[in-house]
Chain A
């Protein structure tokens, strides 16, 4: 038999008799995705992700099984072919159930590998945990203390207990190893970047720039570094010694900081963008929002008040006396709790109910524990200065109406309910806004306008912006995530590449609120113990000093806490071909909807897990066990949508399978896998 001459994507190719189109394409360097093809076994022709089109007949062919014929003209890459591949992947995904990533990891704005660092902590390897954390979170000491814990809100242990105390792993890992651990740095590549603002976004950008070989100079208008961490968050939540230790690390990474440099005054975007290869603006969101009431000038502005106290290092400050804090956010809570520590008698005035407060529930709880009173459904109408020098806040009572755009029920004034509250200090903590630099374009909300894809500031080639100054006031972890994105975007810009956000592809079993424990897969038994709780310092100290609220939870307890983790993510997430091809072709997990594969994961074998809900029914495992190992322990059972891969009488795989595992190695997804995770 002689060679076969045909075309792939218009180029002449030669194939040997018996070669499939897939093989010929591979030899020609054309990559065709496939899930069910496996060279160790006879063809399965199942997934149809490898389809190509015969241009002459117009037919689609599974390239893993079809052999080229003389003169054939194969289309392996057109949009039409890709659309068929996408459809095949979409259909497979529509029956596939699992969790690529654990929900905690998905919930983390910085996309830190939560499950992995919790597991390292469980094993007592907190250095490993720190290394994993720092892949996404370069400020673990701070974030380990002040993070609102998005991860824990989505933790599946919420179904039957309380979430794993994830953030405490971060805090402990950082406390133990942050100062001694130095990442391996690549040599500097000569590119230099200027960063404006020494807050979390700025430091994060500097960190990830340096990991890519780019040296950064930070310009800061205040006398000390840290931004909101230094001047916004009070000492009792984040001791400044801790912060200083954390930030000192950056100097070891060739990052320089110049203080007292204010954008628009001492430095300009125009100059920096010329002096440096790139500029990242991370100036934060520091302008207090107005209450828009008469007499506002008599009230303190929350963030300014905190900033002033921070500048005094929480020492030798006057007692604010009877204090009214207006607002329901974290800044309001920080103001209230600071005022308490200064000897004040504090009430928090908020126009909706406690449920609607944007502050973290725990912050509100702690403020109340410390003695703050809540004046709910109360809105300020005016501030008056009384003759005795005291202040009065005129308020009116509110009631909740229909939900507004934010989904929260809209407060409406109760007619004729106005009343006065006397106070020595009134603090308005109703939010902050960005002061957009004059050289940049502002969005409608007043933030710096950027291109969402690469964070480039409108009108500039090499200027990027990140953090609160782009998003408005948000959390530290979000600022850190944004700083990283800006850094990577800048690096791509330096390299002349277009910055593309890596797609976040994730299949999920669903939010815990829609699941029961039966819906989950347990690789190992999960500890039934209660969530570890911190040991707060005595209330007397909390009310009178700025001592940190509680010490870091010790390692033994955190290791035990790790045993509460279900480890939700897929054992095969780093090798899953379904995920890989779907990412590559831009297929979303919810492209098609419908009933999913049923069945329960079989975890009876000590070393192997079989999860029919992840199975693609490609039958590779059946053929490996049959054709390669000659054992025939697995077989396709039933037919149609109900087809599943099973063992005789559903008894599961025998113990001896742990010594072979050849089927496991070939499973394109995590339907058949070792129970071990790395």
Chain B
């Protein structure tokens, strides 16, 4: 196995650790590349197609390198009722990218997620895991501007 993926060795080779393995890859690289799939498949003694099949089943895994700031917009029920489609629309207009896309500079990427579990603060989004609640247009633009400066 190439050096790059040697961290997989902390897992047993039992297939039940496959998803964990892919999660480790994504944690390290931000996404799961073709090479990573080959490496993971080889490690668990599986065919690449099988690994790809498992990976593409789960929404968490990304096959395209995400931006520096990953925005997750919650579209859980509470957020939806409280206007998350609007938040998505504003975000897409502000950043010029859609759900699942990364901007040209590799700065922002947007993904719409099921529920961040912060329903009492709906509508919410998170940037690199940091949650912003009770969003309105003003607050949204303020948050984006903070990250634009970084």
Contact = CB atoms under 8 A, between A and B. Distances in A.
> Main secondary structure on chain B at its contact with chain A?
helix
Contacts of B49: 632-635, 646-648
Interface in A621-646: 626, 631-639, 646
A631 B53 contact: no
Nearest to B58: A639
Most buried by A among B47, B49, B56: B49
Contacts of B50: 626, 632, 635
Nearest to B52: A648
Most chain-A CB neighbours within 10 Å: which of B34, B37, B46, B56?
A: B56
Contact of B46 (A632, A637, A646): A632
Given A638-B57, A639-B57, A649 B47 contact: no
Contacts of A646: 49, 52-53
Interface string B42-71: 000011111011001100000000000000
Contacts of B56: 637-639
B57 A649 contact: no
Nearest to A634: B49
A631 B47 contact: yes
Q: Which among B52, B53, B56 has the greatest number of chain A C-beta atoms within 10 A?
A: B53
Interface residues of A, number: 14
A interface majority secondary structure:
mixed
A638 B46 CA distance: 18
Nearest to B57: A639
A656 to B, nearest CB: 14
Nearest to A636: B53
A637 B56 CA distance: 6
A634 B48 CA distance: 10
Contacts of A648: 37, 47-49, 52
Contact of B52 (A626, A631, A637, A639): A637
Contacts of B37: 648-649
A649 B33 CA distance: 10
A639 B58 CA distance: 8
Give the most central of B34, B46, B48: most A CB within 10 Å: B48
A631 B37 CA distance: 17
A601 B47 CA distance: 23
A649 B50 CA distance: 11
B34 A649 contact: yes
A57 B27 CA distance: 48
A648 B37 CA distance: 9
Contacts of A647: 49
Contacts of A634: 49
Interface in B87-104: none
Contacts of B48: 648-649
Contact of B47 (A632, A637, A638, A639): A632
Interface of B: 34, 37, 46-50, 52-53, 56-57
The 7 closest A-B pairs by CB, nearest first: A635-B53, A632-B47, A648-B48, A648-B49, A635-B49, A637-B56, A638-B56
14 contacts: A626-B50, A631-B47, A632-B49, A633-B47, A635-B50, A637-B52, A638-B57, A639-B57, A646-B53, A648-B48, A648-B49, A649-B34, A649-B37, A649-B48
Interface of A: 626, 631-639, 646-649
Given A632-B46, A637-B56, 14 more contacts: A626-B50, A632-B47, A632-B50, A635-B50, A636-B53, A638-B56, A638-B57, A639-B57, A646-B49, A646-B53, A648-B37, A648-B47, A648-B49, A648-B52
